[in-house]
Amino acid sequence: MADAPGTKMKRRLIKRRSSLFARGEPMVWMTGAALVVSIAMILGLLGIVLVRGGTTFWPQKLKVINLVDGRALMGELTRTEEYKPEAFVFDALPEADRAAAKKMVEDNRGRSTRYLWRTGNNSPERRTQGFTEVSDFQVKSETFPEWAVTIERSEWGRFYGEPIAFLTGEERTAEDPATAWELFEQNHDKALDMWDQASEIEKEAIGDLDAALEKERLRARSVELEHGTNSPEHVKALEARAAFESAQNPERTKLRAQVDELRAEAGKYALLMKTSYGSEEPVRLVDIIRAYPANRLDFFDKVGIYISRWWEYLTANPREANTEGGVWPAILGTIVLTMIMTILVVPFGVLGALYLREYAKQGALVSLVRIAVNNLAGVPSIVFGVFGLGFFCYTIGAGIDEIFFAEQLPNPTFGKGAILWASLTLALLTLPVVIVATEEALAAVPNSMREGSYACGASKWQTIRRIVLPRAMPGVMTGMILAIARGAGEVAPIMLVGAAKMAPDLPVDGEFPFVHPTRGFMHLGFHIYDVGFQSPNAKAAEPLVFTTTLLLIGIVIVLNVVAIWVRARLRRAYIEGG
C-alpha cells in the first residue's frame, strides 16, 4: 500500500530530529574504546613489571671498555639512553680527542648515546656507588676477557675481575686463571660449610646461653619490682644471677673458641683477582655468595644461574641494605599479615552487616551508621596508621606491658609496632569493604526464603544460620577478596605499626608458640618503598623494585585465586545446587 502524501517527509524530519546518541551506536563505540584503553593500561603496566622484573637475574657478559682518558672499566651494561651533550662535557676529554668526539656527536644530529655500567668493586677502602656513566665518544675500544668473573659478595656488592691465583693463608698457588678457578670450585663449599657451622654454634648454642642468662636477669628484675631495690630478696636474686653467669662462662668460652677456630680456618682461603684498573685484590671464599666466569657461560649455564638467583631471592634473607639477597622474611610477613587481617576482619564485618540488615530497625540511626561506614572507606590509610599507633601500640599495648611484663620495661613487649597491631589496623581499614559487600549479599537473598523458613517454625537465628548465610556466602567471599586485595598492598598504615626495614626474627617459625604476635615483620610493599626510595645505592636497587613488585602482584593474585575458587564452590553448593 502506497504511503499517504507527506509520510516520507515526516519520516525524514523524525530522523533529522532524533539525536545521534539516542540511537546508541556512538555509546557502544565509546564504551568499547574505554574498555580497550583500560585493558591496554593494565596490560602495559603488567608487561613492564614482568619484563623488567623477570630479566633482573639473567647473567650478562662482562666487557672491558677502554676510555680515551686512559681508564679501563669492567662491568655489566645496565641502561642505555640518548641525550644531547653540553659543550662542557668535551672539556673533560684529552685535547687530542675532542675534535673527533665533537664530530661524532655532530654526525649523529647533535646527540650521543650514554651507557650506565655497573662496575662494582666497592670495599671499606674504596667506597663508590658502583656505577659509572660513559658516553659513546669517550670509548676508545672494547674487549670481552675470557676469564672475566662476576663475584656476588655477602658484603659490598659485586666484584669484577680476572682470577690470577689462589691463596691459602700466606701461600700463593695456581698462577693461571684456569687452575685458580678450579681450586676455587673445589674449596668454596668447604669454606662456606665451616663458616655456617660457626654461625650455627653462635646462633643456637651461644644463643641458648644468652637466652637463659636473660631469664635470670628478668627474674632478678621481677624480684626488685616486688620487694624493692637492694632488699634481701633482691640481693639474693642478684647473687643467683651472678652464680648462674659464672657457671656459664666455661661453656661459653669453649663455644667461642670453636667459633673462632672454624672462622679462622674458613677465612684463610681466598681468590686473588686482578681488576681492570690493574690492582690485585684478594676475595675471601666465605664472602662469596656466587661466582661465575661471565664470558664462558653457555645457555644452560645461564639458565642455572638464573634459577639459582631466583631461589636465593625467594628463600634467603636480604643483605646490603636490602639491595642484595632475598626477600623471604618479606614474603612470609606479607602472607601472615594478610591472613591474620582476614581472620580478624571477616567475622566482625559479617556480624556488623547481619545486625544492620537482619536485626536493626531501619530508620535514621541505621542510615547514619551506613553513611559513617561508607565514609570510613574513604578515610586516607595513613590516618588508620596513626590511630593504630596511638590506640593499639601506645594505649592497649603499653597497658598490657605495665600489667604483665613490667620486669621487661623500658623495653616494650606489646607496646611497640608488631604484626598483631598491624593486622588489627588493616582489619579496621578493610572493615567497611566487608560490611558493604556482606549487606548487599544478604539483601540479595529473597524474602520468600525467609518467610518459608519462618512458616516451618524456625527461629530468626535458625533462619539466618541455615538459610540466609549459606546463600550469602559467595557475596561474603567477594568482600573478603576485596579486603585481601586492598590490605595486602597497603604500606602507609603498617609503616607506623610494625613494618620494619629488617626483622631478624620471623613472626612465624618453628619455636613455640609458633606464631609470635609481638614481633615486627617485613612486608613486600614496604620493601619496595625502602629499596626504591630509601636505599643508599638507588641505581643498584632499581631492578629489585620491579622484581619485588612482580612478586607482590603474584602473591595477591594467588590469594585472590584461592578465595575465588572457594567462592565458586560455595555458589555451586548453596545457590546453583539449592
Give DSSP secondary structure letters for 399-466.
HHHHHH-GGGTTS-SSSS--HHHHHHHHHHHHHHHHHHHHHHHHHTS-HHHHHHHHHTT--HHHHIII
Report yes or no: 147 and 177 within 8 Å, Cβ to Cβ: yes
pLDDT of residue 427: 94
pLDDT at residue 152 greater than cutoff 60:
yes
Report yes or no: 62 and 160 within 8 Å, Cβ to Cβ: yes
Report yes or no: 188 and 285 within 8 Å, Cβ to Cβ: yes
pLDDT at residue 9 greater than cutoff 60:
no
**How sure is the predictor about 345, in pLDDT bands with cuts at 50, 70 and 90?**
very high
- The packing angle between helices 538-571 and 524-533, to 10°, is 160
pLDDT of residue 100: 87
94-105 pLDDT, tens per residue?
Answer: 888 888 888 888
314-328 pLDDT, tens per residue?
Answer: 999 988 878 888 999
pLDDT at residue 180 greater than cutoff 70:
yes
* Number of other residues whose CB lies within 10 A of the CB of residue 117: 20
**How sure is the predictor about 18, in pLDDT bands with cuts at 50, 70 and 90?**
low
What letter does residue 22 receive in the DSSP assignment? G
Q: Distance between CA 519 and CA 524 in Å, rounded?
A: 17
54-68 pLDDT, tens per residue?
Answer: 888 999 999 999 998
Backbone phi, then psi, for 77, in 5-degree steps?
A: -75, 125
288-315 pLDDT, tens per residue?
Answer: 999 999 999 999 999 999 999 999 999 9
- Amino acid identity of residue 457, one-letter, is G
**How sure is the predictor about 5, in pLDDT bands with cuts at 50, 70 and 90?**
low
* Number of other residues whose CB lies within 10 A of the CB of residue 183: 20
Q: Find, among 371, 423, 347, 433, the residue nearest to 392 by Cα.
A: 423
**How sure is the predictor about 506, in pLDDT bands with cuts at 50, 70 and 90?**
confident
Report yes or no: 303 and 287 within 8 Å, Cβ to Cβ: no
Report yes or no: 461 and 538 within 8 Å, Cβ to Cβ: no
pLDDT of residue 410: 87
Average pLDDT over the chain reads 88
pLDDT at residue 13 greater than cutoff 80:
no
Q: Which three cell numbers stand for residue 378?
A: 574513604
191-228 pLDDT, tens per residue?
Answer: 999 999 999 999 999 999 999 999 999 999 999 988 88
Q: Which three cell numbers stand for residue 357?
A: 540488615
CA 265 to chain centre: 36
Q: Which residues pair with 508 in a beta bridge?
A: 515
Q: Which three cell numbers stand for residue 138?
A: 669517550
pLDDT of residue 282: 93
pLDDT of residue 12: 57
- Bridge-based pairing state of the strands 318-319 and 324-325: antiparallel
* Rg of the chain (C-alpha set): 33
pLDDT at residue 360 greater than cutoff 90:
no
Highest mean pLDDT (candidates 255-259, 408-412, 573-577) = 255-259
**How sure is the predictor about 475, in pLDDT bands with cuts at 50, 70 and 90?**
confident
CA 246 to chain centre: 44
Residue with the bigger pLDDT between 540 and 442: it is 442
Q: Distance between CA 286 and CA 268 in Å, rounded?
A: 9
Q: Which three cell numbers stand for residue 503?
A: 626483622
pTM of the complete model: 0.87
pLDDT at residue 382 greater than cutoff 60:
yes
Q: Which three cell numbers stand for residue 269?
A: 682461603
Cell 607506623 belongs to residue? 496
**How sure is the predictor about 41, in pLDDT bands with cuts at 50, 70 and 90?**
very high
Report yes or no: 196 and 188 within 8 Å, Cβ to Cβ: no
pLDDT at residue 337 greater than cutoff 90:
yes
pLDDT at residue 482 greater than cutoff 90:
no
Report yes or no: 281 and 275 within 8 Å, Cβ to Cβ: yes
Cis before 177 (ω within 30):
no
pLDDT of residue 333: 92
Q: Which three cell numbers stand for residue 510?
A: 618453628
Q: Find, among 79, 5, 205, the residue nearest to 540 by Cα.
A: 79
Read off the pLDDT of each residue in 494-522 and give the average, rounded to a whole number. 87
pLDDT of residue 14: 52
The helix or strand, by DSSP H or E, that contains position 517, with its residue range, turns out to be none
| Burial zone of 433 (CB within 10 Å; 0-12 exposed, 13-18 middle, 19+ buried) | buried
Cβ neighbors of 369 (< 8 A, separation 6 or more) are 356
pLDDT at residue 21 greater than cutoff 80:
no
pLDDT at residue 169 greater than cutoff 90:
no
* Number of other residues whose CB lies within 10 A of the CB of residue 319: 16
Residue with the bigger pLDDT between 195 and 577: it is 195
pLDDT of residue 4: 57
| Burial zone of 62 (CB within 10 Å; 0-12 exposed, 13-18 middle, 19+ buried) | buried
112-145 pLDDT, tens per residue?
Answer: 999 988 988 888 777 777 888 899 899 999 999 9
Q: Find, among 385, 398, 391, the residue nearest to 425 by Cα.
A: 385
pLDDT at residue 17 greater than cutoff 90:
no
**How sure is the predictor about 562, in pLDDT bands with cuts at 50, 70 and 90?**
confident
Percent of the chain topping pLDDT 70: 94
CATH of the domain spanning 328-576:
1.10.3720.10
Q: Which three cell numbers stand for residue 444?
A: 540479595
pLDDT of residue 577: 57
Q: Distance between CA 444 and CA 239 in Å, rounded?
A: 71
- The packing angle between helices 469-489 and 419-443, to 10°, is 140
420-458 pLDDT, tens per residue?
Answer: 999 999 999 999 999 999 999 998 888 888 889 888 989
Q: What is each CA distance from 491 to 12, 46, 385, 426, in whole angstroms?
A: 62, 20, 9, 10
Cβ neighbors of 162 (< 8 A, separation 6 or more) are 145, 147, 148, 149, 177, 273, 274
